[in-house]
Chains A and B, each alone.
Chain A
């Protein structure tokens, strides 16, 4: 009954097109392990008629006549054809992983169609198989590093795994691993990402018109899906690298009914520290574990249980000082197909990011810790009334526990604890007309309740507490309602060209404030309170997408403008350790970002690759900072270029190279100096008024693959930063009155040239 009511509501909300009379073919596309494959290109052979599978692998295609042959193309999977003699509504298409040269062809065919066909503007789909061909730091393939090569996405720089999307900083992205939020997704200060590529199937980055089922981030959503085990055969992969090794193991628990997948990775970085004098007493390592159990208890139901844990450890000998941080996430989801038109997924989600450090030397006994925990339940219903309409409706409830910081310094212990409930609901619909016009319309509503239990404050202009407010545990202290409209429109100009436009409002109730503009394991978090307001971003974007008729090349040009309300930054002279109460040390203002993104890609042939260029501006205005004037945001970089080339020499050897260039990061540098405290001190007249030197580097990689009857082995050789360019990580200013210049600006760089070698074996 409820389903009927929902359907009725949707009918009222959205005009439905009359059902087509022609034959239609509908089904689901999976890989050999049963993982659903999104964004698979489905084309009617011999025609320009085609579609793309949705995020759940479902597709519907109206064919002009039967019998019809459909061609299925997906990155890293063998092309597949199937002929249908009549309409079919429960087609199950299983695609086999591609290990031959054909894979290169499939990659791009899918990508081009995805860009021109997808109604949503500003979506980047990442396939792990393509990622494997891009050279990586220290031989470790990395989904986060890979997306930084795409237009509109920038790296925070060396030493960070953060990425910046369309003028947002790294903490304005929400990374979801099977719907569980992951924070600070980097190991070893960003040398590696938190994600083991062996455990992932695909990922989508929403940087423009974010679909209504996603929220909680003012810049982007990065939605990552983990891999399920094979239901029929056992598989084992192992890789040994210079700094880390990993393995994955999967197979059936009950054949065709249930499977398991297990992947783990660990670094042995400390081995390289032992011979050094300075660091010999340090232990620095990380590990991560991914596990998943998939079961099909009955024909129309699938259950997945996912677990992830990643941990970084830095410990001084005898445990006298240490720092630990990492994520733990778990998700249980149950998907049921009610009919060929309706399916629902119920998810229970847990995620926990935590950090702690302590030092017990020289009589000091100081410690600090923080955490950010989510318990959530999510219901998502997908309805496909006709092949040209898709409806997504659902809700999510999150209970959030945040310890922004607790520290014990010099016998003084202070903490800031906050709890909240967040209620989200959404409805969206995709509507495809017969004349090439396609809409995606949605709305998301979010109620955020800041809950009592820990003290809240009234603060004066100087940041001093004038009142401490006490509320009962669970009592609503502050309620905030956000209505977030989402809209995307696409007009297909020809079979190979489309124009798109979109508008998106997103609200971020859990925010982070960055120190020196960079995210780190200790970045401070804060939630909406009686003082802190939610960050609200409104973005409009438009673009033109095209591919050549032979799909050899694809091209896109997108522009965007974003207005962000309630941007927070530290007050002058304050940092994350200035006070435990965040409201005392931050100021609120607004931001704006605008830019254009250009992307061209060669899809076919032995040589493939792409060129992406982003031109962008990001500015903030916060009363109390920079004389209350607009100032360049710390993540503003005018030009950003990525060039990626991959060449398949033969079936054994493939070569790749990546060159990246980014304008220098905005920098706060002094404009004068003076003497006080017996010292020469700097005076800073403007926030981010200078530029650091530009960032650029060239990476190259070579893979040698040998297929044996029972296994495949791959040697991967790489060189990171081939021409050994030292890029800026930190710039400090030192007075030197012995020099005529009077001041030294000293740049610290992290990585010079780094060679790597990795051996991988797959059974």
Chain B
């Protein structure tokens, strides 16, 4: 809904609006722990980092902590090992079953952080295709449909779009039954837009579709609002400590890869 409002505001000011960079004196805070964990049947990765100042242009690398393990709801615990690229991974893949809960437990500096995630049955999708948005010859879309039984419960999906090995966009969607999921791609034209967002012929595109649980969806939706933080998913043994990030368990990540081929807008 807000997009429509902003569109209207932008349209009204088509002759007048402008953007400029302004100076802001950011308040600094002590670094907070950040944990990002993804558990699937064929890929499990956990990264422990900390926040950085707004004026810090160097990304914080994955840090080694006391222990990282994943505990299934039957009590089975798997220890994860630290890798040189900053990620914790298990020695072998963990069996992930829909309907089951998994707990990520991270210990560091005498504190224990835990988060629980439920594995949902993955959605069934159509093959993604590039289509043009009606009336907008400057925006092409990468769209697929989620084909689900209308009688099933509402599904929550995260979608990541990669271009030439770099993240291009991400988003979340929820729905029931059969519904489209559309990611916008900005096509090179004489419209004013961020150059980094323009897609070109031959770009290598990758789409990752993840069926997530309600709690993760709520957290990621809150991140997209980007004006305050969603309620933390991780619980800390010291309730005064805030831990950012999420833990998402899913059966698998559905991946589609293709090369972008320019077409003409049908008009």
Contacts of A738 in B (CB 8 A): 57
Contacts of B31 in A (CB 8 A): 672
Interface residues of A in 155-199 (CB under 8 A from B): 159, 188-189, 191
* Residue of A whose beta carbon sits closest to that of B25: A690
Q: In the docked arrangement, what's the CA distance between A104 and B11, Å?
A: 39
Name B residues whose Cβ lies closer than 8 Å to a Cβ of A: 1-2, 4-5, 8-9, 11-24, 26-29, 31-32, 34, 36, 49-60, 131, 133-136, 138, 141, 143, 145, 150, 154, 160, 167, 170, 173-180, 182, 190-191, 218-223, 225-231, 244-246
B57 touches A362 (CB 8 A): no
Q: In the docked arrangement, what's the CA distance between A701 and B137, Å?
A: 41
B20 touches A362 (CB 8 A): no
Contacts of B150 in A (CB 8 A): 411
Name A residues whose Cβ lies closer than 8 Å to a Cβ of B: 159, 188-189, 191, 269, 272-273, 276-279, 281-282, 284, 314, 316-318, 320-321, 323, 357, 359, 361-364, 368, 409-412, 462, 515-516, 520-522, 571-578, 625, 668-687, 689-690, 693, 726, 728-729, 731, 733, 736-752, 754
A-B contact pairs, 12 of them (CB 8 A): A189-B9, A362-B141, A410-B174, A573-B222, A573-B223, A671-B54, A683-B244, A687-B228, A689-B27, A749-B19, A750-B9, A751-B16
Contacts of B15 in A (CB 8 A): 272
A741 touches B220 (CB 8 A): no
B223 touches A318 (CB 8 A): no
Q: In the docked arrangement, what's the CA distance between A729 and B18, Å?
A: 10
Given A357-B4, A742-B55, 4 additional A-B pairs, CB 8 A: A314-B8, A674-B32, A749-B20, A750-B16
Q: In the docked arrangement, what's the CA distance between A410 and B123, Å?
A: 14
Contacts of B29 in A (CB 8 A): 671-672, 683, 685
Q: In the docked arrangement, what's the CA distance between A136 and B190, Å?
A: 34
Name A191's contact: one of B12, B49, B176 (CB within 8 Å). Answer: B12
* Residue of A whose beta carbon sits closest to that of B214: A464
Q: In the docked arrangement, what's the CA distance between A99 and B145, Å?
A: 67
A742 touches B57 (CB 8 A): yes
Closest CB in chain A relative to B132 CB, distance in Å: 9
A669 and B221 contact, Cβ closer than 8 Å, known pairs A189-B12, A362-B182, A747-B20: no
B1 touches A357 (CB 8 A): yes
A409 touches B175 (CB 8 A): yes
B22, B28, B131: residue with the most chain A Cβ atoms closer than 10 Å: B22
A675 touches B34 (CB 8 A): yes
B22 touches A410 (CB 8 A): no
Closest CB in chain A relative to B150 CB, distance in Å: 7
A572 touches B231 (CB 8 A): yes
A674 touches B12 (CB 8 A): no
Q: Is the interface of A mostly helix, strand, loop or mixed?
A: loop
A673 touches B52 (CB 8 A): yes
Closest CB in chain A relative to B179 CB, distance in Å: 4
B52 touches A747 (CB 8 A): no
A411 and B179 contact, Cβ closer than 8 Å, known pairs A669-B26, A672-B29: yes
Contacts of A726 in B (CB 8 A): 18, 20
Closest CB in chain A relative to B214 CB, distance in Å: 9
A754 touches B16 (CB 8 A): yes
Contacts of B135 in A (CB 8 A): 281, 316-318, 320, 361
Contacts of B23 in A (CB 8 A): 745
A745 touches B22 (CB 8 A): yes
Name A740's contact: one of B27, B57, B180 (CB within 8 Å). Answer: B57
B22 touches A277 (CB 8 A): no
* Residue of A whose beta carbon sits closest to that of B154: A412
Contacts of B57 in A (CB 8 A): 736-742
Q: In the docked arrangement, what's the CA distance between A409 and B50, Å?
A: 36
B11 touches A282 (CB 8 A): yes
B9 touches A159 (CB 8 A): yes
* Residue of A whose beta carbon sits closest to that of B8: A314
Name B1's contact: one of A269, A573, A577, A677 (CB within 8 Å). Answer: A577
A577 touches B2 (CB 8 A): yes
B150, B221, B227: residue with the most chain A Cβ atoms closer than 10 Å: B227
Contacts of A522 in B (CB 8 A): 1-2, 5
* Residue of B whose beta carbon sits closest to that of A682: B226
Contacts of A368 in B (CB 8 A): 1
Contacts of A410 in B (CB 8 A): 173-177, 179
Contacts of B14 in A (CB 8 A): 272-273, 276, 278-279
B180 touches A363 (CB 8 A): yes
A284 touches B18 (CB 8 A): no
Q: In the docked arrangement, what's the CA distance between A731 and B24, Å?
A: 11
Contacts of A693 in B (CB 8 A): 22
Contacts of A364 in B (CB 8 A): 179-180, 182
Closest CB in chain A relative to B175 CB, distance in Å: 2
Closest CB in chain A relative to B49 CB, distance in Å: 6
Contacts of B170 in A (CB 8 A): 677-679
B13, B160, B175, B182: residue with the most chain A Cβ atoms closer than 10 Å: B13
* Residue of B whose beta carbon sits closest to that of A159: B9
Closest CB in chain B relative to A513 CB, distance in Å: 14
Contacts of A750 in B (CB 8 A): 9, 12-13, 16-17
